[in-house]
Amino acid sequence: MAKVTINGIEVDVDPSMTILKAAEKAGIPVPTFCYHPRMDPAGSCRICAVELEDSKKVVMSCVTPVADGMRVLTESPKIHEARKTNLELLLLHHPLDCPVCDCGGECPLQNMSFAYGATESRFESHRNDEPEDMKSDVLVFNANRCILCGKCVRICDEVQDVHAIGFINRGFDTIIGPPLGKKLDCEFCGDCLEVCPTGAITDHFVRYKYRPWQLEKQQTTCSYCPSGCQMFVETENEAIVRVTSQEGVGPNEGSICVVGRFGFNHVQIPERFDTPYMRSLHRLVPSSWEEVLPEIASGLNAIRKKGVDRIAGLISTRVPMEDAYVFQSFFRKILHSNMIDTGARYSFMNAALPIVAATGTLRPLVDHEDILKAKVILVVGADPVSESNITGLFVKRAARKERSRLYVVDSEAISLSSRAKDHIRVLPGGEQIFLEVLSEEIRQSGNLGAEWISRKEELFKNWNVDPSAYQRLLADLRSCETGIIVAGRKLFQLETPVAGVESLLKITGDLGWIDRPGCGLFVLPEASNDLGVLMMGASHEWLPGLMDSRDPASRGRWEETWGSRLAYGPGGGLEEILKGIDEGKINALISLGENPIGHFPPGSRVREILSKLDMIVSIDMFQNELSDMAHFVLPASSAYERSGHLVSAEGFVQAIKPTMAYWGESLPDWQILDRLSHAMGSPMGVDSAESVMSEILRFLPDLAPSSRNGSHFVGGTGEIRLATPVASADGCAYGEMVHEGNGLSTKFVSPAHKANRESVSSRYAQWREGIKEEPASPYRSIAGEGEFVLELTKSLFHSGKMTLMDSNLKKIQPEGKLRINRQTARKRKIKKGERVSLRTAYGVCSFIVEPSPAVSEFELTFPVHFANAEVLALFAPGLDFSSGTGAPVTHRIRVSLDSQNAN
């Protein structure tokens, strides 16, 4: 410890600290331009000058380490003079742009110039007059306003690891921009825009449209991906103007990705439903709540009378927990139906079901901080950067700054591959084979027969696995102190997903990671609230708290707690719902932001099946295939308008807050359902999203809001307090119930810690017995001679289909292009931008190609967001629910490429 005196205040700090950090600790602000807490110091702007009292020297506080006994002055006449001179120099070439500069009003340079009165310069020079670089679709670089602090370059290198911009030229001519005067081509996270202390970087979307002082700022949680970024939505007159982040706030620590930062425009376009619609004479006509609700209610009442499980419900996993909770209670209590399913069915359910069966919780055992500390990270079947951007950033940081050994097992080169120690490029779909071999070898640890080994070698040869890389990974996994496996979308969408996830569970169990802190599995959910919606019991398998909905005991506990009988039937998921509708056993469908038609190939009869329904209620924001055939379309509020809580991939429960008024007549989902229940004559009596949350917290106290900057979440999801009339300490490991005011509330007395590390138990085997057998030979899609595997992937620039309505994101990625290996394209004489057609046994579709070195020569990829009916026509028609979890299987298919078709 070093003792430092700053402006007379004595602080004890670590000797490795800089003076700036010590001053921060003492609560003394020091102005900075180029300093950034997440990056290495650069010392380039010279504004953070401080004076050392003893030597009378002026030093830069952001780069100078403290020394014991140091006495520092942050304000003195000498410092004032130094800073003022420095500002004069910074402003030497600076244009007098403040009135039109987007930064004006929140500009540190402007503020400093006011503070130090650097209004006139003693130096003579010309004003910079470099034309702006407006080539990029997103960012505009104005070199004249740049003070060359280098923050933008460094954040792109050190945090995003994208290296898209740099210093160009030298001396007075230095400017910032993409190399060689090219058009900027990057991830468009906008972090450079965020950190730039001047108006040198602006963006095309809001350029010149606002002044910072006119904007109202509201912190909220991004509802696209499960990273759960904290962002600030800034509005003027109930319209979103921009989205910003704040250094250090939230699990994202101030970075947000392109979708979160720029994807806000779709919620304020005229295409959005702003009033309820009702079908009349085959047309949807605008109506009002007063008119539609009684109609829907009487229809539902009539169907409800027919028996249980007569009404099906689908819910998107981008809605807050509150809405999911109300959704399931509406169905189970009011509609007597357990025919409910969530959007997670298409992908994440494949991981959630086995994991819950094994561990009893959906809480990840590790979080991003553990990723930073992990010695070995294995990323398999996932592209964290595009699936959960912040997770990707943390993996990058772990590999780059913390020197963790990163292994990537994927057919495609993902952006993490360049940081990986080994990228094992299996053939498309081979991730699962790889994991199976790995788990077997770890389990048997050396007791493997020669036969097994020769089979392994053969498999590795067939699936293109580098055996030496595999050996290195195996050795590292066995010997490492802490290791984390990150798995995602690609793995969950294999033809036999349960087998893949099971291998992961075996590996974590056999390596002894379940009980070891900082080790484990980090699965990436697909949407922002997959975890929360499932924890709230919005799928047919689970009641709230992940309790088995078919187990009479758990049903009984909830009945007692709610004080109402749950008269639902056995229920079922998407598969059973479609089957039930087809057989006439289900007569109505209520969909909250889901559109099953868009997920299946056009020949799969989904539309035909759905047309058998007596009533379709589509609660959505935009027109889609389901709303086109719905009898009632109800306008839903967006995540920017309502309040609630989302559970991030790390398990943090974070609030979304209203940033603008409800769009038109739209209402949040819980309110629509509540009003519907009133109209049906069996009111649920929900007052507000807050009251729902307090009800949830009463029963599931460990879902209390949490974030990294606050306290960690507490307990496993297994901690459920149902109908517990105790008022005294109940001996629970996590907290005690106390009387506070009139109500019963929970107080946590034990230190907050992470999910309980229950071991992978026999419960899993039991669950495995119960599910249906997956097909024995899953590898339908290995490419044959001259064939490819077409895969639908997640794009970095879109999230689901909704963002296709967003003008900003559409500008960044306007259309889906078929990515093909560059060499293959060259060989087959296919050029960028040409059209090719793909053929399968089921259909033909033409695509614009984009050759890319990232794709392997056996593979073609296409962003799933743009997969419309034409693209889906390539996939086998029919409803393929062959996976063990009842998830539909349509993400990979063998295709042959027809380049003759070029036109």
Partner 1 sequence: MTFKSLMNSILFTEIAQGLKVTFRHFFKKKLTVQYPHEKLTLADGYRGFIVHRRYDNGQERCVGCDLCEAICPAKAIRVVGDIHPEFPERRYAKEYTLDFTRCIFCGFCVVACPVNALSMTKEFAHSSFTREGLIYPKDKLLALGDRCEDESIAYLKVRNMWDAEDSGKEEGRYHFPPIPTT
Residues that bind ligand SF4 (CB under 6 A): 94, 97-98, 101, 103-104, 107, 109-110, 145-152, 176, 195-201, 222, 224-225, 227-229, 252, 256-257, 259-260, 389-390, 799
The residue written with tokens 């090719």 in the block is: 836
Q: What is the dihedral of CA 617, 622, 627, 632, to 10 degrees?
A: 40
Contact 12, 3 (CB under 8 A): yes
Among 3, 78, 211, 400, binds partner 1 (CB under 8 A): 211
Q: How far apart are CA 464 and CA 98, in angstroms?
A: 58
Residue placing its CB nearer to partner 1 in the complex, 199 or 509: 199
Minimum distance from residue 427 beta carbon to ligand SF4 (Å)? 30
Q: From the list partner 1, ligand FES, ligand SF4, none, pick the one residue 249 interacts with, judged by a Cβ distance below 5 to 8 Å according to partner type.
A: none
The burial of 124, by beta-carbon neighbours within 10 Å (0-12 exposed, 13-18 middle, 19 or more buried), is given as exposed
Bridge-based pairing of strands 859-863 and 892-898 is unpaired
Asked whether position 811 contacts partner 1 by CB under 8 A, the answer is no
Contacts of residue 640, Cβ cutoff 8 Å, sequence gap at least 6: 220, 233, 240, 264, 267, 658, 659, 660
Q: From the list ligand SF4, partner 1, ligand FES, none, pick the one residue 390 interacts with, judged by a Cβ distance below 5 to 8 Å according to partner type.
A: ligand SF4
Q: From the list ligand FES, partner 1, ligand SF4, none, pick the one residue 132 interacts with, judged by a Cβ distance below 5 to 8 Å according to partner type.
A: partner 1
Q: From the list ligand SF4, partner 1, ligand FES, none, pick the one residue 146 interacts with, judged by a Cβ distance below 5 to 8 Å according to partner type.
A: ligand SF4
Q: Which stretch binds partner 1 (CB under 8 A): 124-132, 524-532, 541-549, 661-669?
A: 124-132
Q: How far apart are CA 337 and CA 326, in angstroms?
A: 14
Q: Which stretch binds partner 1 (CB under 8 A): 205-213, 302-310, 514-522, 764-772?
A: 205-213
Torsions phi, psi of 897, nearest 5? -105, 135
Bridge-based pairing of strands 422-424 and 405-409 is parallel
Among 14, 68, 132, 247, binds partner 1 (CB under 8 A): 132
- Specify which residues 636 forms β-bridges with: 667
Q: How far apart are CA 635 and CA 669, in angstroms?
A: 9
Contacts of residue 404, Cβ cutoff 8 Å, sequence gap at least 6: 374, 375, 376, 377, 398
Q: How far apart are CA 866 and CA 805, in angstroms?
A: 11
Asked whether position 183 contacts partner 1 by CB under 8 A, the answer is no
3-state SS, residue 55: coil
Residue placing its CB nearer to ligand SF4 in the complex, 34 or 546: 34
How many other CB atoms are found less than 10 A from the CB of residue 619? 31
Q: From the list ligand FES, partner 1, ligand SF4, none, pick the one residue 785 interacts with, judged by a Cβ distance below 5 to 8 Å according to partner type.
A: none
Q: From the list ligand SF4, partner 1, ligand FES, none, pick the one residue 43 interacts with, judged by a Cβ distance below 5 to 8 Å according to partner type.
A: ligand FES
Asked whether position 562 contacts partner 1 by CB under 8 A, the answer is no
Pick from 385, 178, 266: nearest CA to 811: 266
Torsions phi, psi of 360, nearest 5? 75, 5
Pick from 685, 701, 683: nearest CA to 693: 701
Minimum distance from residue 208 beta carbon to partner 1 (Å)? 4
**Closest residue to ligand SF4: CB criterion:** 260
Q: Which stretch binds partner 1 (CB under 8 A): 127-135, 148-156, 320-328, 526-534?
A: 127-135
Minimum distance from residue 105 beta carbon to partner 1 (Å)? 8
> What are 183's two structure tokens?
């058009």
Q: From the list partner 1, ligand SF4, ligand FES, none, pick the one residue 198 interacts with, judged by a Cβ distance below 5 to 8 Å according to partner type.
A: ligand SF4
Residue placing its CB nearer to partner 1 in the complex, 99 or 770: 99
Asked whether position 265 contacts ligand FES by CB under 6 A, the answer is no
Asked whether position 104 contacts partner 1 by CB under 8 A, the answer is yes
Residue placing its CB nearer to ligand FES in the complex, 32 or 799: 32
Minimum distance from residue 577 beta carbon to partner 1 (Å)? 48
Q: From the list partner 1, ligand FES, ligand SF4, none, pick the one residue 145 interacts with, judged by a Cβ distance below 5 to 8 Å according to partner type.
A: ligand SF4
Q: For residue 828, give the amino acid letter.
A: R
Q: How far apart are CA 141 and CA 203, in angstroms?
A: 9
Q: Which stretch binds partner 1 (CB under 8 A): 206-214, 352-360, 393-401, 560-568?
A: 206-214
Three state DSSP letters for 608-667: HHHCCCCEEEEEECCCCHHHHHCCEEEEECCCCCCCEEEECCCCCEEEECCCCCCCCCCE
3-state SS, residue 57: strand
Q: From the list ligand SF4, ligand FES, partner 1, none, pick the one residue 152 interacts with, judged by a Cβ distance below 5 to 8 Å according to partner type.
A: ligand SF4
> What are 379's two structure tokens?
């990323």
> What are 644's two structure tokens?
């609630």
Asked whether position 119 contacts partner 1 by CB under 8 A, the answer is no
Contact 482, 732 (CB under 8 A): no
Minimum distance from residue 216 beta carbon to partner 1 (Å)? 15
Q: From the list ligand SF4, partner 1, ligand FES, none, pick the one residue 45 interacts with, judged by a Cβ distance below 5 to 8 Å according to partner type.
A: ligand FES
3-state SS, residue 201: strand
Torsions phi, psi of 777, nearest 5? -105, 95
Minimum distance from residue 243 beta carbon to ligand SF4 (Å)? 8
Torsions phi, psi of 845, nearest 5? -150, 145
| Binding to partner 1, residues 82-101 (CB under 8 A) | 95-100
Minimum distance from residue 108 beta carbon to ligand FES (Å)? 10
Minimum distance from residue 265 beta carbon to ligand SF4 (Å)? 15
The residue written with tokens 């702006």 in the block is: 132
Residue placing its CB nearer to partner 1 in the complex, 210 or 289: 210
Torsions phi, psi of 895, nearest 5? -135, 155
Minimum distance from residue 810 beta carbon to partner 1 (Å)? 18
Residue placing its CB nearer to ligand SF4 in the complex, 387 or 575: 387
Mark residue 152 as left, alpha or beta (left: phi above 0; alpha: psi -120 to 50; beta: remaining): alpha
Between 24 and 53, how does the x/- string for binding to ligand FES read (CB under 6 A)? --------xxxx-------xxxxxx-----
Minimum distance from residue 176 beta carbon to ligand SF4 (Å)? 4
Q: How far apart are CA 504 and CA 502, in angstroms?
A: 5
Minimum distance from residue 97 beta carbon to partner 1 (Å)? 6
Asked whether position 786 contacts partner 1 by CB under 8 A, the answer is no
Q: From the list ligand SF4, ligand FES, partner 1, none, pick the one residue 389 interacts with, judged by a Cβ distance below 5 to 8 Å according to partner type.
A: ligand SF4
3-state SS, residue 844: strand
Residue placing its CB nearer to ligand SF4 in the complex, 384 or 716: 384
Among 11, 23, 26, 60, binds ligand FES (CB under 6 A): 60
3-state SS, residue 3: strand
The burial of 120, by beta-carbon neighbours within 10 Å (0-12 exposed, 13-18 middle, 19 or more buried), is given as exposed
Q: Which stretch binds partner 1 (CB under 8 A): 65-73, 211-219, 351-359, 756-764?
A: 211-219
Among 122, 123, 213, 785, binds partner 1 (CB under 8 A): 213
Asked whether position 116 contacts ligand FES by CB under 6 A, the answer is no
Residue placing its CB nearer to ligand SF4 in the complex, 164 or 259: 259
> What are 592's two structure tokens?
């909250």
> What are 574's two structure tokens?
């998407």
Q: From the list ligand SF4, ligand FES, partner 1, none, pick the one residue 207 interacts with, judged by a Cβ distance below 5 to 8 Å according to partner type.
A: partner 1
Q: Which helix (H) or strand (E) holds 192?
A: helix 191-195
The residue written with tokens 């999911």 in the block is: 324
Asked whether position 124 contacts partner 1 by CB under 8 A, the answer is no
Q: How far apart are CA 339 and CA 241, in angstroms?
A: 41
Q: What does the binding site for partner 1 look like in residue numbers (CB under 8 A)?
A: 95-100, 104, 127, 129, 131-132, 134, 207-211, 213-214
Q: What does the binding site for ligand FES look like in residue numbers (CB under 6 A)?
A: 32-35, 43-48, 60, 62
